[in-house]
Amino acid sequence: QVQLVESGGGSVQAGGSLRLSCEISGITFNNRNMGWFRVAAGREREGVAAIFTGGDTTTYADSVKGRFTIAQDNAKNTLYLQMNSLKPEDTGMYYCAAATVGVAWMVTLTDSDYKYWGHGTQVTVSS
């Protein structure tokens, strides 16, 4: 059974930081494309950051470049999202996702490219 379990969300003031974690089981963690997505109230799901866990290929949404960092710990089968300089517009439910493939040039922020999803963790940033 595939499980993706997010944690680390919470409420912070603008300018603060949070680190999200996603523990993954039931599928091979290494050499897989994985990503973080978010859904804000009244908006569609948005890709935030993605990574190929077999190398160092990453991609970020323009809105988070320079503030968010996606990282992995292959020994712990865990994906992270370090979020700094948080803004109120970063508020939303954050989801971890894993693709069925692991190809560096296919690291995307397109949600239809990902098959496995967690249940999300809420991030709230107040001004």
- The confidence score (pLDDT) of residue 63 equals 97
Which of 103, 83, 105, 101 minimizes the C-alpha distance to 92? 83
Is the pLDDT confidence value at 85 over 90? Answer: yes
User: pLDDT by residue (tens digit) across 68-78?
Assistant: 999 999 999 99
Determine the 3-state secondary structure of 20 from DSSP.
Answer: strand
Which is it for the CA torsion 92, 94, 95, 99, positive or negative?
Answer: positive
User: pLDDT by residue (tens digit) across 105-117?
Assistant: 889 999 999 999 9
Reduced 3-state DSSP string for 31-92: CCEEEEEEECCCCCCEEEEEEECCCCCEEECCCCCCCEEEEEECCCCEEEEEECCCCHHHCE
Q: Could you give the count of Cα atoms lying within 13 Å of 73 in the half-sphere of its Cβ? A: 10
Determine the 3-state secondary structure of 109 from DSSP.
Answer: coil
Which of 69, 94, 78 minimizes the C-alpha distance to 10? 94
Is the pLDDT confidence value at 6 over 90? Answer: yes
Is the pLDDT confidence value at 22 over 90? Answer: yes
User: pLDDT by residue (tens digit) across 31-59?
Assistant: 999 999 999 999 999 999 999 999 889 99
Q: How many CB atoms lie within 10 A of CB 64?
A: 23
Q: What is the mean pLDDT of residues 93-98?
A: 98
